[in-house]
């Protein structure tokens, strides 16, 4: 299923990295008996009611406590409920009321924020509120075929792991920039290999696990048995005089690999699910209903003009097992598309929601409303003991595509792709 990677490249070129931000796994619970809380009461600042102008658009932030961010009836008041991980929330009040809390042996301090919750204002601590969603630090790679000698034969399956090293390490800065290479495809020497694997936190006990998501077939290869290959990047310039930065670093799969694998990851034990329950997604138009309006305004309380029968607003749905996935696609007056997605279980519970917005480097892939075999979107169970994921909603020209969980208790994944330009 190499069309996965081809589709990504195609949409990236038409449309215009994995985040290593630490996952916050706790749900803030402030208890007088356990935690010291300081409050300074000063005049609060309330954000003006947003309108259609850019200057006064809603102030949207994201809850980043993995098990849920408690919201309260007032600062240091009664807990009313939780915002789930990466839930988009609208800030409507900066209280300037200070807090200091101890949680998981760590001290957090800051101010309480007022958050719009339907017609009410609730309060959260700002330590677990971010300007952007948080993503998993798990690295998932594409499996691709490379014709190393340009002869349309003897294609080799490779996994580009150039993104493996932590960029806080000095691996890349320590490379010899003056050394040149004439070949476009070769095996890195032992010194480079050892330094690269060390910088990427890859040990001799790790294996490369590859999966074919349509069937659940998984193969695992010890790292020590695989070649670490230099493959000339398509954007490299020059002819025969290349430096180290012109190359991708790949693990080459054995010659006898016959399966069309899709994704790969590095770990000691195989994390991939074999019963993937893979499904291409077909989307259908959906009429606006009061119950659906309620679901959307419950999850995105700042949605106003977008959720209406405007010509540039379209509502679609698709299904996967016991989940129904809704997509509200809205084109604003600047002709930029925003996609609001909510995931609902058959019992009516919202299990996740997220936003994709068209921009300079992000293009939203049209939802497939025709033939399943031509669909760019699909859902599957990729990892053992984890919720299903959906793929194919957007493309990135300067980043990498995302995998979204259908449940909110896991941070979503940005694929580790070498999308250099």
Say which CATH superfamily domain 45-130 falls into. Answer: SH3 Domains (2.30.30.40)
114 has a pLDDT exceeding 90: yes
49 has a pLDDT exceeding 50: no
CA distances from 225 to 17, 81, 158, 171, 177 (A): 28, 51, 14, 23, 28
The pLDDT confidence band at residue 189, using thresholds 50, 70 and 90, is: very high
375 has a pLDDT exceeding 50: yes
Calpha distance 301→295 (Å, rounded): 10
Looking at per-residue confidence, does 322 or 24 come out higher?
A: 322
Calpha distance 355→343 (Å, rounded): 12
The reported pLDDT for the residue numbered 137 is 92
Percent of residues, the chain, with pLDDT higher than 70: 80
What are the tens digits of pLDDT across the range 260-284? 789 999 999 999 999 999 999 999 9
246 has a pLDDT exceeding 70: yes
337 has a pLDDT exceeding 90: no
The pLDDT confidence band at residue 155, using thresholds 50, 70 and 90, is: confident
The reported pLDDT for the residue numbered 53 is 37
Domain ranges of the chain: 3-21+278-414, 45-130
Mean pLDDT of the chain: 81
392 has a pLDDT exceeding 50: yes
The pLDDT confidence band at residue 376, using thresholds 50, 70 and 90, is: confident
The reported pLDDT for the residue numbered 150 is 60
Percent of residues, the chain, with pLDDT higher than 90: 49
């Amino acid at each position: 299923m190499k069309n996965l990677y081809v589709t990504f490249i195609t949409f990236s070129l038409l449309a215009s990295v994995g985040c290593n931000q630490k996952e916050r796994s706790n749900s803030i619970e402030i208890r007088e008996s356990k935690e010291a809380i300081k409050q300074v009461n000063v005049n609060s600042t309330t954000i003006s009611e947003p309108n259609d102008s850019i200057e006064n658009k809603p102030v949207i932030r994201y809850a980043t406590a993995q098990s849920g961010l408690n919201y309260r009836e007032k600062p240091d008041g009664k807990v009313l409920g939780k915002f789930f991980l990466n839930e988009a929330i609208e800030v409507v009040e900066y209280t300037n009321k200070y807090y200091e809390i101890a949680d998981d042996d760590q001290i957090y301090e800051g101010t309480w924020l007022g958050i719009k919750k339907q017609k009410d204002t609730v309060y959260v601590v700002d330590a677990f509120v971010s300007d952007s969603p948080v993503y998993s630090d798990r690295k998932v790679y594409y499996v691709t075929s490379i014709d190393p000698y340009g002869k349309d034969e003897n294609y080799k399956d490779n996994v580009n792991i150039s993104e493996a090293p932590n960029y806080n390490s000095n691996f890349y800065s320590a490379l010899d920039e003056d050394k040149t290479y004439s070949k476009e495809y070769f095996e890195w020497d032992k010194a480079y290999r050892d330094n690269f694997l060390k910088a990427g936190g890859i040990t001799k006990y790790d294996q490369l696990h590859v999966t074919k998501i349509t069937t659940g077939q998984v193969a695992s290869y010890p790292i020590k048995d695989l070649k670490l290959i230099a493959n000339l990047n398509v954007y490299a310039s020059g002819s025969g005089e290349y430096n180290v930065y012109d190359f991708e670093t790949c693990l080459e799969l054995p010659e006898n690999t016959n399966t069309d694998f899709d994704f790969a990851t590095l770990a000691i034990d195989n994390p991939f699910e074999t019963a993937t329950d893979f499904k291409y997604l077909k989307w259908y138009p959906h009429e606006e209903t009061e119950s659906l309006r309620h679901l959307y305004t419950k999850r995105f309380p700042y949605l106003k003009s977008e959720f209406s029968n405007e010509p540039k607003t379209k509502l679609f749905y698709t299904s996967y097992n016991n989940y129904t996935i809704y997509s509200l696609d809205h084109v604003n007056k600047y002709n930029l598309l925003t996609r609001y997605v909510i995931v609902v279980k058959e019992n009516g519970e919202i299990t996740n929601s997220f936003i994709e917005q068209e921009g300079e480097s992000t293009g939203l892939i049209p939802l497939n409303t025709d033939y399943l075999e031509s669909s760019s979107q699909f859902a599957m169970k990729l990892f053992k003991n984890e919720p299903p994921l959906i793929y194919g909603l957007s493309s990135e020209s300067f980043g990498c595509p995302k995998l979204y969980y259908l449940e909110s208790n896991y941070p979503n994944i940005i694929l580790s792709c070498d999308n250099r330009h």
